[in-house]
């Protein structure tokens, strides 16, 4: 009873009775609705909590909303007070004043709230007349959605916000086919980084300096960006949502248009927000609760796949570059010579060497040339200027049309396999080893994500992204735990050289690394290094990626003369894969320090990783750290 009195008093503070746009609010009926809502505990119900994006504060004493836009709330303290927000929402339903991110009457601006409260409180439409909400009806009709598909775009190493992939929702239209799904609309959550300085980009992303918003965009536009421009393979997961859940999802997305959230790279990002959307559509789902510190798109895909009955099918959409590389790899040496010339010279198709090919092989080369030509044109286009019509594309299309046969079959499998098929991104490990004859026990932990030695299943092959990786060691004669290494960020990309669409290999590392000295076996220093070069692939006796690059290195620590050293270096190595679950890597780095403490240094390493199960692996490493030998063997567990 006390809560009912408090809510009624709150309504009086709102200035009831209300008179808006010539229509008087039914104050007694409003007070009655508030009393019924309080008696039923609607403000504490999960349906209300998910629609307002409430979640418990760290101490569990109260709640706060993830939404950071005051236009999303109708009560002054609505961000932290579900009861006050519910009472203010009921009051606003009697008004025609525009509210929300896309201003309109409250019944339409917050239509999911309205329909849920209408069901729970059985509104008397004579005393609370419903608004027509024609704009929502038109929007919903245009979408014509009958199903939803979660789309995962694989990691994109050239953009910090997409290092771990990206997720979005596609709204599948009535009567949609394989040929027309590009015309569907999507729900995409992204950060607005247009006003961020390049030097502040990472800091803003980590600290919530960006704002994020939901946007409705045609699927073909996002495919052009992610698949064609950024060469990211896509995986499409059809969700099993019933009509009621899908309608509630659409109504809630309508409420969120124009509403701003603080965007964080590692937690409140695209993957997190899509989980909260699905929770609003079906409040019995508890998908986001387990992501307390960071939310990686691949981890959310694995979480959705574990939810019984939620994911139906998974379909791959290989990137244009994937299609080019797969077709090019299937060609003979003669065909490759023709393929390199054909995109820029359609007359190659009239040469005797081309004509001698079987028609299906000719069709394969023409399809490859068209993909390569369109890839080049996509990179020439800008947001404001479309490239002029490409006459070479027209000639290639004409030649292909005159060849009425299917191209020779090539399996166009994405390089980034299903994310839910891979190991979990977090890792713990324990190992034993020796450094310069002294034994140690090591404990390791990694926040995320994947390294070159781990199986490729579920991840982009020949790529490494490690974030916050820690190694502590215990040497019996020294006591306690000693820091061996702390990696803040380590990214390595080894795309094998392709003469048709070449890409560089590169590496960057930032963190503390071991620099043992004769008088200091456990010394560490901060290291910042990077390099740019090439990688090449061979297939005998096993698949092997050879790599090498020149680079720069900067080390900072009290163990160096003047506390630092900096110089040039050269790295070479090979990554071998005898089996899908077994990888071996050997490498060497020669360094010539010209600033600070001068001199030369050589580091060598041989590592192997054997996956015993999806989330269990045996790791062995041998290193020579500037003359100090080291061996280590242990187990890694992923979770």
Q: Residue 11 has what pLDDT? A: 47
The candidate with the shortest Cα–Cα distance to 75, out of 86, 63, 64, is 86
With 80 as the cut, is the pLDDT of residue 12 above it?
no
Here the tokens at position 344 are 């820029």
Here the tokens at position 595 are 């600033």
With 70 as the cut, is the pLDDT of residue 397 above it?
yes
**Strand 427-435 relative to strand 628-638, pairing:** antiparallel
Q: Residue 20 has what pLDDT? A: 34
Q: Which residues contact 461 (CB under 8 A, 6 or more apart)?
A: 415, 416
Q: Residue 229 has what pLDDT? A: 83
**pLDDT tens string 110-159:** 999 999 999 999 999 999 999 999 999 999 999 999 999 999 999 877 66
Average pLDDT of the residues in 384-390: 73
With 70 as the cut, is the pLDDT of residue 395 above it?
yes
**Whether 317 contacts 223, CB under 8 Å:** yes
Q: Residue 230 has what pLDDT? A: 85
Average pLDDT of the residues in 459-467: 92
Average pLDDT of the residues in 312-321: 92
**Whether 548 contacts 569, CB under 8 Å:** no
Here the tokens at position 266 are 């590692």
Q: Give dist(CA 10, CA 43) in Å, integer.
A: 15
Average pLDDT, the chain: 91
Confidence of residue 9 (pLDDT cuts 50, 70, 90): very low
Q: What is the 3-state secondary structure (H, E, C) of 537-599?
A: EECCCCEEEEEEEEEEEEEECCCCHHHEEEEEEEEEEEEEEEECCEEEEEEEEEEEEEEECCE
Q: Residue 198 has what pLDDT? A: 60
Q: Residue 447 has what pLDDT? A: 92
The candidate with the shortest Cα–Cα distance to 225, out of 199, 188, 194, 253, is 188
With 80 as the cut, is the pLDDT of residue 386 above it?
no
Q: At what angle do helices 2-13 and 27-40 cross, to 10 degrees?
A: 140
Confidence of residue 266 (pLDDT cuts 50, 70, 90): confident
What domains are defined for the chain?
2-132 (no CATH), 140-317 (3.90.1720), 331-401 (no CATH), 422-638 (2.40.160.40)
Q: Mapping DSSP to helix (H, G, I), strand (E, B) and coil, where does residue 18 land?
A: coil
Q: Residue 478 has what pLDDT? A: 81
Q: Residue 191 has what pLDDT? A: 85
With 50 as the cut, is the pLDDT of residue 13 above it?
no
**pLDDT tens string 598-610:** 999 999 999 999 9
Q: Residue 204 has what pLDDT? A: 73
Q: Give dist(CA 367, CA 375) in Å, integer.
A: 12
- pTM assigned to the model: 0.85
Long-range contacts of 535-542 (CB under 8 A, 24+ apart): 535/462, 535/494, 535/495, 535/496, 535/497, 535/505, 536/496, 536/497, 537/496, 537/497, 542/576, 542/577, 542/578
Q: Residue 196 has what pLDDT? A: 66
Residue 134: CB atoms within 10 A of its CB come to 10
Q: Residue 37 has what pLDDT? A: 97
With 80 as the cut, is the pLDDT of residue 21 above it?
no
More confident residue, 263 or 535: 535
Q: Residue 499 has what pLDDT? A: 84
Burial 316-349 (b: 16+ CB within 10 A, else e): ebbbbbbbbbbbbebbeeebbebbbebbeebebb
Average pLDDT of the residues in 357-365: 97
Burial of 562 (0-12, 13-18, 19+ CB in 10 A): exposed
Q: Give dist(CA 211, CA 234) in Å, integer.
A: 25
């Amino acid at each position: 009873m006390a809560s009912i009195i408090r809510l009624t008093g709150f309504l009086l503070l709102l200035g009831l009775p209300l008179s808006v746009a010539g229509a008087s609010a039914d104050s007694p009926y409003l007070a009655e609705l508030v009393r019924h809502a309080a008696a039923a505990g609607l403000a504490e119900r999960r349906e209300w909590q998910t629609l307002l994006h409430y979640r418990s504060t760290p101490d569990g004493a109260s709640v706060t909303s993830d939404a950071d836009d005051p236009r999303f709330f109708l009560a002054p303290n609505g961000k932290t007070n579900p009861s006050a927000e519910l009472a203010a929402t009921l009051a606003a339903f009697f008004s025609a004043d525009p509210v929300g991110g896309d201003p309109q009457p409250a019944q339409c601006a917050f239509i999911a709230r309205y329909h849920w409260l209408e069901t729970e409180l059985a509104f008397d439409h004579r005393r609370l007349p419903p608004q027509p909400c024609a704009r929502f009806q038109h929007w919903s009709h245009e979408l014509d959605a009958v199903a939803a598909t979660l789309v995962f775009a694989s990691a994109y190493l050239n953009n910090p916000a997409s290092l771990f992939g990206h997720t979005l929702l596609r709204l599948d239209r009535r009567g949609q086919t394989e040929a027309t799904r590009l015309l569907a609309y999507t729900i995409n959550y992204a950060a607005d980084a247009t006003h961020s300085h390049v030097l502040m980009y990472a800091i803003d992303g980590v600290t919530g300096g960006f704002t994020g918003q939901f946007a409705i965009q045609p699927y073909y536009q996002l495919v052009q960006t992610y698949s064609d421009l950024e060469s990211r393979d896509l995986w499409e997961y059809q969700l099993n949502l019933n009509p009621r859940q899908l309608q509630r999802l659409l109504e809630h997305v309508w409420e969120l248009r124009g509403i701003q959230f603080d965007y964080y790279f590692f937690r409140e990002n695209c993957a997190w927000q899509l989980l909260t959307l699905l929770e609003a559509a079906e409040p019995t789902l508890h998908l986001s609760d387990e992501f307390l510190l960071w939310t990686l798109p691949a981890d959310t895909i694995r979480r959705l796949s574990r939810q019984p009955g939620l994911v139906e099918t998974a379909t791959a959409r290989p990137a244009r570059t994937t299609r080019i590389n797969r077709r090019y790899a299937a060609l003979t040496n003669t065909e490759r010579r023709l393929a390199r010339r054909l995109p820029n010279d359609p007359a190659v198709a009239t040469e005797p060497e081309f004509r001698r090919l079987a028609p299906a092989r000719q069709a394969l080369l023409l399809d490859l040339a068209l993909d390569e030509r369109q890839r080049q044109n996509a990179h020439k286009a800008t947001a404001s200027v479309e490239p002029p019509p490409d006459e070479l594309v027209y000639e290639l299309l004409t030649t292909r049309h005159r060849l009425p046969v299917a191209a020779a079959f090539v399996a166009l499998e994405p390089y980034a396999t299903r994310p839910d098929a891979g190991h979990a991104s977090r890792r713990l490990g324990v190992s034993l080893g020796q450094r310069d004859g002294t034994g140690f026990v090591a404990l390791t932990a990694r926040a995320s994500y994947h390294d070159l030695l781990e199986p490729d299943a579920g991840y982009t092959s020949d790529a490494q992204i490690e974030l916050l990786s820690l190694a502590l060691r215990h040497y019996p004669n020294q006591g306690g735990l000693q820091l061996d290494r702390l990696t803040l960020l380590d990214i390595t990309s080894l795309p094998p050289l392709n003469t048709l669409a070449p890409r560089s290999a590169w590496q960057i590392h930032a963190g503390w690394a071991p620099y043992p000295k004769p008088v200091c076996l456990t010394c560490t220093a901060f290291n910042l290094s990077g390099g740019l070069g090439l990688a090449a692939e061979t297939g005998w006796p096993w698949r092997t990626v050879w790599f090498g690059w020149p680079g720069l290195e900067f080390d900072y620590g009290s163990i160096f003369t003047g506390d630092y050293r900096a110089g040039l270096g050269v790295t070479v190595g090979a990554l071998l894969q005898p089996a899908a679950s077994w990888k071996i890597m050997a490498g060497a780095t020669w360094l010539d320090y010209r600033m600070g403490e001068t001199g030369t240094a050589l580091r060598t390493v041989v590592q192997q990783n054997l996956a015993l199960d999806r989330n269990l692996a045996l790791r062995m490493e041998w290193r020579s750290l500037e003359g100090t030998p080291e061996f280590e063997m242990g187990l890694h567990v992923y979770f």
